Chains A and B, each alone.
Chain A
Amino acid sequence: MISLQNIAIRQDAFSLSGISLEIPAGQYGVLMGPTGCGKTTLVEAICGLRPIAAGRILLLDRDVTRLQPAARGVGYVPQDGSLFSLLTVREHLAFAPAVRGWTSAAIDARVEELARLLGIGHLLGRRPNGLSGGEIQRVALGRALAMRPGVLLLDEPLSALDDDTRKEMHDLLLNLRGQADVTVLHITHSRSEAQCLGDRWFELRDGKVRQIEARLP
């Protein structure tokens, strides 16, 4: 589960306070809100990349508020993918398991499994330069899932894609939702995307998060 309890974030002139949000284990939460309202900031705080001024962050019943990003076990897919420009796709998928000291046999098996799941087997030897937007997002998703995180944070993963590619990624996320044992927080602008993928919906507006109940209009 993902549980934010009364979080406050202050960064220069920007601030969020009293942010609370709860996504039960294995559910798919969607966070919406206008541009610049602090959605990415909130995701960074959950990852441990941005300090919080108050409150607690619980992931899978564990208080991670003071933990380093590496110790939080969070899979993070940033908006532009942010792939490592010099690594091949295979090295991206192997990155987290290798850093975490998996055996090479376990790493190879995981890479093959992810390549199959994400349909990127033919790209394993390629570097990010020249990959399409959809391929970049698949690799970024694979890199985040490789270490089998209990929590997955997706920061507008579909926003920069064309309609066809968005549909493919959309189906992929739906498929993933059914398969992986992971709690997801997905940030998006798109109401249809939110409706299709989410189990529960939240809106961040004017520095406050509120849960939107039931189906969206």
Chain B
Amino acid sequence: MSCPAPRPSRPADHPGAGRSDALFITGLGTFLASYVTLILGLLFALGSFTTPAHLLAAMASLEIRYAFRLSLVSCTLSTLVSLWIAVPAGYLLSRFRFPGRSLVDAVLDIPIVLPPLVIGLALLILFQMPPGRAIERLIPVTFAVPSVILAQFTVACAFAVRTMRVTFDQISPRSEQVALTLGCSRSQAFWLVVFPEARRGLLTAATLAWARALGEFGPILIFSGATRMRTEVLPTSVYLELSVGNIEAAAAVSLIMVIAALAVLILARLFGLRGSGLI
């Protein structure tokens, strides 16, 4: 049995094809543009409310300079600790099947979905319990600088783990397997083959964790308090300035945070893409 040859299709058969594509793409562009406009609007609002004099005045304030330094140091430390956890956690979840893996996977999402205030409250209560008190006897945590780092780490690490997990998922296990046949132990295959290939994901995880830590406020307010020159980070400064009606200073500190976050994002992009032929 032979099939009849299909009639060749002519442009006139589908007069609406071109138009519907244009409509579809315009529709997509409209949604994208509306969100980008909102974000740029936020930055514009902050920028237009703040004069260089406000920025200078904010940076001249001892309290805000302390908050700036503490934010930089605590975010960097919490990011480093987050990566330290995220790399092995992401690799384990990506490459190994073990009992309770789905449960561990779900638990890792808890810091992402819990309200920030609840995380702060839970940390506060945890450090009132016997194990927490034992740690407090060695090193003061609650309402002190370590609590800031711990609060930032708790949330930032969950994002870092997710990112590293996806990173390792995207690296084919085949090259690692070849390395095993060539004479590597699992650990050698990881350090020689997998880890170098994960460097871009590592940078993304670090950037994400750092930016998350910089914006962390709820857990810090509860677990660290808002004591000036002690546990004050930049979001705390915004809160404290707002609470006394000093909107100009609050906006100036917010702008400093925006600039710091953008600087880290740009640096990460520059380093991440170097050698890739894209820049």
Contact = CB atoms under 8 A, between A and B. Distances in A.
A157 interface: no
B48 interface: no
A48 B184 CA distance: 13
A70 B193 contact: no
A203 interface: no
A84 B177 contact: no
Nearest to A50: B177
A34 to B, nearest CB: 22
A147 B180 CA distance: 13
A49 B181 contact: yes
A84 B181 contact: no
B184 A99 contact: yes
The 9 closest A-B pairs by CB, nearest first: A96-B182, A69-B180, A82-B174, A99-B183, A76-B181, A82-B175, A69-B181, A70-B183, A100-B183
Interface residues of A, number: 26
B196 interface: yes
A82 B172 contact: yes
B172 to A, nearest CB: 7
A121 B38 CA distance: 56
Nearest to A101: B183
B181 A99 contact: no
Query: Which of B184, B185, B188: most chain A Cβ within 10 A?
Result: B184
10 contacts: A47-B177, A47-B180, A70-B180, A70-B183, A70-B184, A70-B185, A82-B178, A84-B197, A95-B182, A146-B182
B188 A48 contact: no
Interface residues of B, number: 17
Interface string B140-179: 0000000000000000000000000000000010110111
Interface in A76-119: 76, 78, 80, 82-86, 95-96, 99-100
Q: Give chain B's interface secondary structure class.
A: helix
Interface in B2-36: none
A143 interface: yes
B183 A83 contact: no
A187 to B, nearest CB: 15
Contact of A96 (B172, B174, B183): B183
A76 B178 CA distance: 7
Contact of B174 (A78, A99, A144): A78
B105 to A, nearest CB: 20
B178 A99 contact: no
Contact of A86 (B177, B178, B179, B196): B196
B190 to A, nearest CB: 13
A68 B181 CA distance: 8
A49 B180 contact: yes
Contacts of B174: 78, 80, 82
Contacts of B177: 44, 47, 49, 69, 76, 78, 82
Interface in B107-165: none
Given A69-B177, A78-B174, A99-B188, A84 B193 contact: yes
Nearest to A83: B175
A72 interface: yes
Nearest to B180: A69
A73 to B, nearest CB: 9
Nearest to A128: B175
B275 to A, nearest CB: 9
Interface in B187-230: 188, 192-193, 196-197
A68 B180 contact: yes
A84 B172 CA distance: 10
Contacts of B183: 70, 96, 99-100, 147
